[in-house]
Amino acid sequence: MSAVIDNFLKYVRLDTQSEDGSASTPSTAKQFSLAKLLVEQLEEMGAEEITLDKEHCYVYASIPSSEGLESAPVLGFIAHMDTSPAVTGAEVMPRIVEAYDGGDIVLNGNKNVVMRVKDFPELSYYVGKSLIVTDGTTLLGADDKAGIAEIMAMAQYLLTHPQITHGKLRIGFTPDEEVGAGADYFDVDLFGADYAYTVDGGRLGELEYENFNAAGAKVTAHGRSVHPGDAKNKMINALLILQEFQAMLPVFQNPMYTEKYEGFYHLDSLMGNVEEAASEYIIRDHDKERFEQKKEIFLRIGSFLDEKYGEGTVVIDLKDSYYNMKEIIENNIHLIDNAKAAMEEIDVEPIVIPIRGGTDGARLSFMGLPCPNLCTGGHNFHGKYEYICVESMEKIVELLVRISEKYGAAQKNY
């Protein structure tokens, strides 16, 4: 078994789920289990400048430059250690489907969990290849333990093959990316890279440097509870006010109707009763002007309902989360050009697409570290149908090595 797959299978068995709403960083202490393992492995392979942030659970390390390449740009590779809270990450039981035959894959016969080709037609890309799947009861954790395994395999390969020349490389592993806090305590100065890539994407070949502008919003409705038998002209139902709020949003600006560069409003949760109810939304758009318009529409609806039902009835807490890194990366387009060239040199077709989400790299780009996103080889993240291709992971290790060589050859900052 290759080093990248061996490590990946170890990593996914560690439960590192982050937790929404936690006031601490990391949001869950169990993320330290992977952080400590990575530190041990980095020490064993001979990496340098290894640092574990014992308070916030960040791991940093260096691969020293080849002799004579000390003046080359310092390049970073970053991945996150947590997995999504959407589906349990406890007791993950990965299985390798050798030489996939193109049919439906039974993940769990006892529970009748089947990954069907009609539901996931991209499975056809992988006929004859090996796939790592779940047992149908948990997520797999390829998002982003695949990225970690690929970066670690790259580091080990370079340290054991000194004939491969490269500049100084920095490695960073973050907590809490899945709950939007991965960059909160990332020490850009300590990291010390000129440029970086997150390794946190999907299908082999994907290369991303555009992401959503993002905001989160909580809408709280204050009602008046009165016995239903005596409610006429007295009751104000907070739940119905929130339904009215949702009905006033543009119907087709909804995730289920959008793709590519189309933005949306997404109702993520709804809870409460007649007296008080709250809904939580995420607001997304690639275009900054449309993003601002979406927020303005959202606030105007809230103001209208507040005026309709009385001052203080509807309260909106709206907060920006991250912005489209395109404006940063366009000024550092060599990151995309070099990644595309490296892919082509190893017979991988570049697939440049916008991210319909965000990564640590989006925030890091605005913190002074230009940081587009590379593929991991995985599919169906955040669910029990998650899977990843073995051959894709091995190819991505080769890609990271090739990109490292390119920046070593640059001998200067761009």
- Catalytically active residues are 82, 177
Residue 175 to residue 285: CA distance in whole angstroms: 25
Of 204, 209, 206, 154, which Cα lies nearest the Cα of 7?
154
Which long-range contacts (C-beta less than 8 Å, at least 24 apart) are formed by 85-89? 85/17, 85/18, 85/19, 85/20, 85/178, 85/179, 86/139, 86/382, 86/383, 87/138, 87/139, 87/382, 87/383, 87/384, 88/17, 88/137, 88/138, 88/139, 89/15, 89/16, 89/17, 89/138, 89/139, 89/141
Does 379 belong to an annotated binding site?
A: no
In a 13 Å sphere around the CA of 227, the CA atoms on its Cβ side amount to 2
* In contact, 6 and 150? CB cutoff 8 Å: no
Residue 7 to residue 38: CA distance in whole angstroms: 10
Supply angle C-alpha 326, 330, 331, rounded to 5: 125
What is the number of other CB atoms lying within 10 angstroms of the CB of residue 118? 7
What is the number of other CB atoms lying within 10 angstroms of the CB of residue 394? 18
Does 56 belong to an annotated binding site?
A: no
Does 143 belong to an annotated binding site?
A: yes
**Helices and strands (H, E) in the chain, number of each type:** 10, 18
What are the tokens at 274?
A: 């007649």
Supply angle C-alpha 344, 347, 348, rounded to 5: 75
Tell me, what amino acid is at 391?
Answer: E
Does 200 belong to an annotated binding site?
A: yes
Residue 175 to residue 196: CA distance in whole angstroms: 17
Taking phi first (over 0 means left), then psi (-120 to 50 degrees means alpha), and beta for anything else, what does residue 143 get?
A: beta
What is the number of other CB atoms lying within 10 angstroms of the CB of residue 408? 21
Give the 3-state secondary structure of residue 380. Answer: coil
Does 178 belong to an annotated binding site?
A: yes
Give the 3-state secondary structure of residue 244. Answer: helix
DSSP lists the bridge partners of residue 48 as: 62
Burial 340-350 (b: 16+ CB within 10 A, else e): bebbeeeebeb
Residues contributing to the annotated binding site for Zn(2+): 80, 143, 178, 200, 382
Binding residues: 80, 143, 178, 200, 382
